[in-house]
Amino acid sequence: MYRLLIADDEALEREGLEMMVSRMLPGQFEFIHAENGRKAIQMADEKRPDFIFMDIKMPGIQGLEAVREIISRHQGVRIILVTAHDYFAYAKEALSLGVKDYILKPAKRDELIDVLRKQAAELEEEKRRRGEELEIREKLTRLLPLAENELTMMLMMDCIQELDLRYLVELLNISWEQGYAMVLSFPFGERKDWEQLQSVRKVLYEDLKQYAKLQLACMVSPMIGNRLAVFVPVPSYGAGFTNRVDALVFGERLQAFAEHRFRLSPSIGIGTVGEGMEGLRRSYQEAAAASADSSDVVRIRHYEDICQRDGMPGIALDEERKLLDALQRQHKEEARIRFLDVLERLIAGSGADDRVCRDEVVALLISLARQISHRSPAEIVSRFAGVAGMASLRQAAAEQLERMLEDMTEERRQFRVIERAKSYIGEQYKSDISMEQTAEYVNLSPYYFSKIFKLHTGETFIDYVTRLRIDEAKRLLESEELSFKEICYMAGYNDPNYFSRIFKKTTGVTPTEYRQQLSP
């Protein structure tokens, strides 16, 4: 039902307009009366009408003044001017103020109803468009965090994806001329450290991301193992030293937040300011190298403060690229040689501090694993938790590399991924499971996962889940004690009618007919 405010100083005019509308459009309008402009403004504020019939000539605040005031406060209201022939010039002026239409007195019934119907149709169209815009905005709100994750991962891993980097930048409305990266690395030297981090990992990430964004307009990466990255824009007019100090202060705030809220003190590395996305890539590599030094003396380090130090640990981007290339070409011996060269250089450059070397090796293995195997960052970090001493580090690193080399055979890798997916589906198919959730669980894109899933199972994801649910329903139908509704929910469906349609489509009979067939 719409609200219609009729503003006219003549009571008979107001009642006549109400009578015509209520007779021609019964039950569609709630009527509000105002005898002058002041009252019209007041009622517009209180009742928020959808439409207003406004007389131009009224005592006190006249029609046009009331129109200006009401439109300034309620832009969505649709005002229709009611005017005598003598004041037609005012009506034309009112159209420039935002009045939607006008009617000449004495109002004709058909003309009045046509105007109302036209305005009501336009109002509904506006509501429809507004609803679509809100729906699009809501979908975009959900999409933006995923786009941010994708962009930050591309910066961190220096990888090429199907999604264009420029598209992500445009979607996120990023116009940074320059910026820097910060890497937070949480301790996991002892098994208890890793277990403590795992227990709060999700909440830690969400709270830390929210806190960082409240401090600065920045991008925050997903948490990979025990690390996450923050990408921060920097104004082009800022001084270099000032930017460095500001970055250190920001790092201190993040560290204090993590310590106070979760009793975890991350090692923080900060890269230099770089231009564009390529500059952010380089800054991330610098920040990752700076964060690898987990000494308790200085737990927040800027790359420029330590880059002159002899023997500073760190893996050059070119080294990582060559190692990754060897793995992707499945040149196993070359990959072993390159990896061992990097490992021995890190060990030599780290002196007696095995934690520095371990953190850098773990970061390298995580980076490689995300690009060539299904192994999760958490799995890799967990294997190195508690590793102490260079000899143990060499052994653990060599074993992890061999596991990756084993995973490089595509058929074997795909088989393992599909087996993990099938195991996950087997546990979750009775709940509201989706292909996207399953693809995320096995660390693959939904598009690639759907392709290899059908290749290895001969079924689409939906058909596979449906078969499991229908097989479970068949088993449950053997029990006479369960109702069809109970079986529907127990098999993973929320709608009994939909369950019945799917059951018949799959088996050729309804659940009732199937149960009857089971009876002797």
Please give the chain's pLDDT, 520 residues, in tens.
Answer: 899 999 888 888 888 889 998 888 898 899 999 998 889 999 999 999 999 898 877 777 777 888 888 888 888 888 888 877 555 566 566 666 777 787 877 778 888 888 888 888 888 888 888 888 777 777 767 777 887 887 888 778 765 454 566 667 667 776 777 889 999 988 776 666 677 778 888 899 999 999 998 988 889 998 887 889 999 988 765 556 677 778 888 998 999 999 998 888 888 999 988 888 788 888 998 888 888 755 555 678 888 766 544 444 456 666 777 887 787 777 888 888 888 888 888 777 766 667 767 777 887 887 777 666 555 666 777 778 777 788 888 888 888 888 877 766 655 667 778 888 999 999 888 888 898 889 888 877 777 788 888 888 889 999 999 999 999 999 998 888 888 888 998 999 888 889 999 999 999 999 988 888 887 6
Place of tokens 């795909």: 414
- How far is it, in rounded angstroms, from Cα 37 to Cα 70? 10
Sign (positive or negative) of CA dihedral 173, 176, 181, 186:
negative
- How far is it, in rounded angstroms, from Cα 223 to Cα 86? 73
Phi/psi zone of residue 486: left (φ > 0), alpha (ψ -120 to 50 degrees), beta?
alpha
- How far is it, in rounded angstroms, from Cα 409 to Cα 2? 67
State both tokens at 169: 């930048």
**Residues 6 or more apart in contact with residue 392 via CB below 8 angstroms:** none
Under a CB-based contact definition with an 8 Å cutoff, are residues 103 and 112 in contact?
yes
Q: Three-state SS across 412-479?
A: HHHHHHHHHHHHHHHHHCCCCCCHHHHHHHCCCCHHHHHHHHHHHHCCCHHHHHHHHHHHHHHHHHCC
State both tokens at 509: 């009979």
pLDDT confidence of residue 299: 78
Backbone dihedral angles phi then psi of residue 395, each to the nearest 5 degrees: -65, -45
pLDDT confidence of residue 229: 94
Under a CB-based contact definition with an 8 Å cutoff, are residues 140 and 116 in contact?
no
Backbone dihedral angles phi then psi of residue 174, each to the nearest 5 degrees: -95, 125
Place of tokens 């239409």: 101
- How far is it, in rounded angstroms, from Cα 438 to Cα 266? 31
CA-to-CA dists, residue 25 to 1, 50, 106, 108, 478, angstroms? 11, 15, 19, 15, 58
Q: How many CA atoms lie within 13 A of 292 on its CB side?
A: 30
Under a CB-based contact definition with an 8 Å cutoff, are residues 374 and 442 in contact?
yes
Under a CB-based contact definition with an 8 Å cutoff, are residues 428 and 467 in contact?
no
CA-to-CA dists, residue 453 to 421, 435, 442, 446, angstroms? 9, 10, 11, 10
pLDDT confidence of residue 409: 64
CA-to-CA dists, residue 419 to 111, 236, 316, 376, 422, angstroms? 71, 51, 36, 15, 5
Q: Which residues pair with 53 in a beta bridge?
A: 6, 80
Q: Which H/E stretch holds residue 177?
A: none
Place of tokens 């987990």: 294
Burial of 362 (0-12, 13-18, 19+ CB in 10 A): buried
Under a CB-based contact definition with an 8 Å cutoff, are residues 287 and 186 in contact?
no
Beta strand segments in 112-243, E: 178-185, 219-220, 227-233
pLDDT confidence of residue 136: 73
**3-state secondary structure at position 383:** helix
State both tokens at 39: 């009252």
